[in-house]
A and B are shown apart, each in its own frame.
Chain A
């Protein structure tokens, strides 16, 4: 907006701002000449303690990508152990031993270490990776721009939210280095295991979770208030881009579903530290002896409280990605989305229903028929709006002029991948099938399909799509396609075999890769896992390593393109209609120099009679006659 405030990241040298910035300078030149230097914030205020939603969005984005990389690394270590039980990890073995000590003796991942990797991989990917990236990073950067707002309603709360997230992440990572190691009871932290494991890592996990939940709650309040209060004039509810609707519902889910987990976390922390018995039953025996506790608690209580969040949480993971995919698909088919109203009502319905399906994670707890029936019914019903959303996105492709750029490739791949993930969830929603499949690799394959080739592909699409707006340069298209092709192929090779393993009966969370249950170890056993199934572990390991290698072009691309990518030639390189593309590049502090007046819906592409194949939302309302200008 003016020459004294340097943008982040700096993308152009001072004078060459293009035409309409000169117009801004005329408006504001006087003011800024007067205010001049004392607006120049220091490094800390601009990059670390910023209250600008765009900076916070980028902070969230970079941190969450870093955490995702770390979580990915944990997974590779686990896959090594599964494929080669009790063999030292190559290259990294000595490093693990020096950093973690006894649990990684001789570079071999011990069962305790495997369990902590498993628990932390899940926790980090969900709470430090996907949620911050999908909801906080993209939401923070894009949502205020899309609705025509100058910032979030509560910028300082926004900053506090990021720092709580950062602190939570630090606590989680630090827990690896305390005596006893990190949390080992799974990302689900079931009691009594979570309380009886002799490590303080569980307490660290709980404290970290409280911080992360606080961060999400503050963020959720901000998002909802922003979307309700700061929509620009003319931006009615039914003119909102679908991405904003998705973020709105996601924020509501976070607002209402996270607190019960926070309460449960406090209760489990009391169990761990104050030796209460909220989740510990009477007569609990630990190590062959009666535990010195009051008893009277209920392990089921933890499960109910955890899954009351846990299920809505998975909708938090998927909805922002669906929003991004919708934006990218509409933009790259040059036609409006099919069924905008259906999409909106479906996403609202999904948000509401997600609160009453949680016990489908608990079919194995001995629930009675009445309640099992109730939850099966609601679980089946919730698949309907999800399918409606997917169908609308599919049908939107029909008759479009499809541009196959990198974001579009990822968005297109999202559709079948989420389709597979969603469809494989249906047997899991039905109790009789779930009794067999629960806690097997089938479940792992199902949820990874929805989140990994599902959500994460959506998020990659978002990165490639909005990168030009954030930096003023395109990411390299060739390497983007390489990244896409390799990721797509290897994601499927990693996760598809797991369905087979799960159906054959291979259970999850086994540090020896099911060697204990293999036909090799127990030759005569009826349901022992055949060698072919066990051998798939080697296959998956190499595919996972290849998947990791496939991310290297992406990482390099993200950083290299900041200064060397192809420059954009306009503020709206994708010729999009939504408001975030009608700002300078990158958007200055305050986003819009004048409040945008929204005159139409979000997806006015290929409008008959219009001069161009896209009509931005804030373009002035046209006269009805077809005469140009």
Chain B
């Protein structure tokens, strides 16, 4: 990769330390949510939300997605939207059965 930026080792190590700490925290948060007394649908939504944040951190910093060109970001964003729409479609249509086929 021919970057014009040189890599500052010290700041990269600091960044890594921060990310490791944040990952540990998000994991702790997820575990706490998991053992809390809410209902499962809410817990699942919250836990998955935190996982997404976690994933975003890994992807953007460790995989340096943020330093890639705009096109890559747009494609990634579009993919996420596509996935959410598909899930939305599934949930919207989940309880929809032909009349008279369920009891």
Binding site for B on A (CB under 8 A): 355-356, 366-371, 374
Greatest chain A CB density within 10 A among B92, B93, B95, B98 is at B93
In the assembled complex, 23 residue pairs joining A and B whose CB atoms fall closer than 8 Å, in A order, are: A355-B82, A356-B86, A366-B97, A366-B98, A366-B101, A367-B93, A367-B96, A367-B98, A368-B93, A368-B95, A368-B96, A368-B97, A368-B98, A369-B96, A369-B98, A370-B92, A370-B93, A370-B96, A371-B89, A371-B93, A371-B96, A374-B89, A374-B93
Question: By CB atoms of chain B within 10 A, which of A356, A368, A369 has the most?
Answer: A368
Q: How far is the CB of A98 from chain B (nearest CB, A)?
A: 50
Residues from chain B with Cβ under 8 Å of A367 in the complex: 93, 96, 98
0 or 1 for each of B46-90: is its CB under 8 Å from A? (1 = yes): 000000000000000000000000000000000000100010010
Q: How long is the Cα–Cα vector from A355 to B79 in the complex, in angstroms?
A: 12
The interface size of chain B toward A, counting residues with CB under 8 Å, comes to 10
CB-defined contacts of A368 to chain B, threshold 8 Å: 93, 95-98
Name the residue of chain B whose CB is nearest to the CB of A371: B93
Where chain A touches its partner, the secondary structure class is helix
Distance of B63 from chain A, by nearest CB (Å):
18
**Cα-based distance from A356 to B86 in the complex (angstroms):** 9
| Residue numbers in A under 8 Å from B86 (CB-CB) | 356
Q: Contacts of B92 on A, CB cut-off 8 Å? A: 370
Residues on A with C-beta less than 8 A from B97 are 366, 368
Complex-state Cα separation, A13 to B82, whole angstroms = 56
Besides A368-B98, A369-B98, 13 other A-B contacts (C-beta < 8 A):
A356-B86, A366-B97, A367-B93, A367-B98, A368-B93, A368-B95, A368-B97, A369-B96, A370-B93, A370-B96, A371-B89, A371-B96, A374-B93
In the bound complex, CA of A370 to CA of B89 (Å): 10
Q: How distant is the Cα of A374 from the Cα of B92 in the complex, in angstroms?
A: 11
Closest B residue, CB atoms, query A374: B89
Chain A residue contacts of B101, Cβ below 8 A: 366
Q: Kindly provide the distance from the CB of A396 to the nearest chain B CB, expressed in whole angstroms.
A: 31
* A contact residues around B96 at 8 Å (CB): 367-371
Cα–Cα distance between A374 and B91 once the two chains are bound (Å): 13
Min CB–CB distance B46 → chain A (angstroms): 26
Give the distance to chain B from A217, nearest Cβ to Cβ, in Å: 17
Docked pose: A457 CA to B93 CA in angstroms: 41
Q: State the Cβ distance, B99 to closest chain A Cβ, in Å.
A: 9
The interface residues of chain B lying within 8 Å CB-to-CB of A356 are 86
Task: Give CA–CA (A356, B83) in the complex, Å.
Answer: 11
B89 surroundings in chain A (CB, below 8 A): 371, 374
Q: How far is the CA of A367 from the CA of B89 in the complex (A)?
A: 13
Complex Cα–Cα for A213 and B37 (A): 45
Which residues on B sit within 8 Å (CB–CB) of A371?
A: 89, 93, 96
Shortest B89–chain A CB gap in Å is 7
Residue of B nearest to A308 (CB): B86
A371 to B90 Cα, complex, angstroms: 8
Chain B window 30-45, contacts with chain A (Cβ cutoff 8 Å), 1 for yes, 0 for no: 0000000000000000
In whole Å, how far is A317's beta carbon from the nearest beta carbon of chain B? 23
Residues of B near A374 (CB, < 8 A) are 89, 93
Name the A residues within 8 Å of B98 (CB-CB). Answer: 366-369
- CB closest residue in chain A, given B92: A370
- A366 to B96 Cα, complex, angstroms: 10
Question: What is the distance, in angstroms, from A408's C-beta to the closest C-beta of chain B?
Answer: 38
Instruction: Please give me the residue from chain A that is nearest to B89 by CB atom.
Output: A374
- CB of A402, distance to nearest CB on chain B (Å): 41
A366: chain B residues at CB < 8 Å are 97-98, 101
